[in-house]
Chain A
Amino acid sequence: MSDQPIAKPLAPVTTPRDRIVKARGTRRSMLDDPRMLGWGSVALVLIAWELIAILTGVNELYLPRPTQIGIALFDMFVNGRLVVDLAATLARVFGGFFIALAVGVALGIWIAAFARVRAVADMFIAALYPLPKVTLIPLLIIWLGTGGPFMLTISALGAIFPIVINTVLGVRQCDPGLVLAARDLGATQRQVMRLVLLPSAIPSIFAGARLGLGVSIILVVAAEMVVGKVGLGSRLYLAGQVLETGQVFAVLIVLATLGIIVTKIQDHIDNRVSRWRLA
């Protein structure tokens, strides 16, 4: 068709360079960039918050200004206490989490591999999994006191259920053909577990670990609020008790930042693990 080449130039032809030149100096450019939009809106809210607080003269006991929160946060870091609290909380969360990961994966494989173990474990998991783990805090304090063992236990307890359940799921979804192939090549039952069931369950195990770590963080901070002398939870609770609202906000910011970092790291690990999956 002879008119086809004519139709083409009618479509707007824009190269990236054109767009930059055209957009320069217009308001549209900022609104097109999602990063700019995200950070810009946060900045806008903070500025609005600061201005409204100044204009209405609201008591900083109820709502401190962002600048006051920033100063409180800086002060808490500089005099060292917050770093100690953060380190204590992280040690408790990850200490318990890694215990749960090791025990939970081993337990999950064992449960998945043996029908009898599964029959027993199903009852206990059904009873304990839906139980809100915070309700165990009083009992654990009676048994373990309020020190390190208590904190590690509550953290591990939070993480272990999603890890066990997902490990069982992952192992059960393993292609039975792979188990047969391994046995054919001379694998013992133990080797089948370690070299076939475990690797084929890895994507599922990571999904469980992801959920478990979230629960660990919640439980450790909650436990710290109840009994801790150091840790982000206890710092938060104490700041609230003495009406240091700026410090309360500062701890919340640290917790939120921690959440962002943990999520990003998990996203990164998930990306790597997903390559493990079958195409």
Chain B
Amino acid sequence: MDAPGVAIEFDGVGLAYAVQSGAPTIALDDLRCRFAPGKVTAIIGPSGCGKSTMLQIARGFLEPTHGHLRFVEMSGGKSADRPAMSTVWQAFNLFPWLTVIENVEFGLRLAGLPAAERAARARRALAAVDLLGFEDKVPRQLSGGMRQRVGLARALVMEPEVLLLDEPFGSLDAQTRLILQEQLAALVEKSGTTAILVTHSIDEALLLADTILVMTARPGRIAAELAVDLPRPRSMATTHNPAYGVLFDRIYGLLRDEVMRAMVGERAGA
């Protein structure tokens, strides 16, 4: 594994919230893991286990209260600066008063790029997510799936070294989700970008990831780290691979307690 680039290492990272009275709440506890460059790592776990919080820590929006975050040059092992990162959000977080292309150009504008270059790059990113022709629409005129493709274009246009995907398809319907998962898999495979994917879908993790971190319920710990050596390119057809079933069962086994609890809750609610 001598791919160039910077690995993100969690070295005993923990996060505790102070509460009004009593002991502090521990959200994340003693995380040790490495996000390798050029690889897709999925973080999967029950709701509230601190998956998204891990992304916020990697992004630098949250400081861990315990342990360290390290950025390590793959060739030579020297410490490096935080690599450039862009996030795709579950709630899309598009600016509703800006058009599609203005949303995609937002980061480039902040970086002070000239208008012509901004427009050209934004158009290329929109083409990559199949949204050419929608430049002048505003987000509320688009379907959920299209909005998230704008979100993806807005992140990709920054040409990040690391793409952070925070339950990117969590608020989409099942069919849209399947199609976008396949598209994203193809996009990530083609670009070879480093990605960290937070999800609660085992299928999504298996379709996209090279490595899967399975988390426990709060306080979030890493229960297991699994290598996904399914052949690429992956698609819905990959689900018929026997190795897929084995991995699925393994992850499901690890998550079962939480999944069962969620199902009981759903049945009670129905």
Contacts and interface: CB of A to CB of B under 8 A. Distances in A.
B59 interface: yes
A278 B96 contact: yes
A184 B87 contact: yes
A177 B52 CA distance: 13
Interface in B93-117: 93-97, 106-107, 110-111
Interface of A: 175, 177-178, 180-187, 191, 195-196, 199-200, 202, 276-279
B61 to A, nearest CB: 7
B116 to A, nearest CB: 20
B86 A177 contact: no
Given A178-B93, A182-B95, 12 more contacts: A175-B93, A177-B89, A180-B93, A181-B87, A185-B106, A185-B158, A186-B111, A187-B110, A191-B110, A199-B95, A200-B97, A279-B96
Contacts of A202: 97
Given A191-B110, A278-B140, A184 B95 contact: no
A180 B96 CA distance: 15
Contacts of A200: 96-97
A178 B95 contact: yes
B97 A276 contact: yes
Contacts of A196: 95
A175 to B, nearest CB: 7
Contact of A184 (B59, B97, B140): B59
Given A199-B95, A276-B97, A182 B140 contact: no
A180 B89 contact: yes
B61 A182 contact: no
A106 B96 CA distance: 22
A180 B94 CA distance: 11
Contacts of A276: 96-97
Contact of B97 (A177, A185, A186, A199): A199
B86 A183 contact: no
Dominant SS among interface residues on chain A: helix
A194 to B, nearest CB: 11
Contact of B86 (A182, A184, A191, A278): A184
Given A186-B107, A187-B110, A181 B96 contact: no
Contacts of A186: 107, 110-111, 158
Given A177-B89, A177-B91, A279-B140, A182 B106 contact: yes
A135 B46 CA distance: 61
Nearest to A202: B97
Contacts of B121: none
A185 B95 CA distance: 12
Contacts of B110: 185-187, 191, 195
B120 to A, nearest CB: 18
A184 B89 CA distance: 10
A52 to B, nearest CB: 56
Contacts of A277: 96
A184 B154 CA distance: 11
Contacts of B61: 180, 183
Nearest to A203: B97
Contacts of B154: 185
15 contacts: A175-B93, A177-B93, A178-B95, A180-B93, A181-B94, A181-B95, A184-B59, A184-B86, A185-B107, A185-B110, A185-B154, A185-B158, A186-B158, A195-B106, A199-B97
A273 to B, nearest CB: 10
A278 B140 CA distance: 7
Nearest to A183: B61
A180 B166 CA distance: 12
A196 B107 CA distance: 13
A227 to B, nearest CB: 44
Contacts of B107: 185-186
A199 B98 CA distance: 10
Nearest to B141: A279
Which of B85, B86, B97 has the most chain A CB atoms closer than 10 A to its own CB? B97
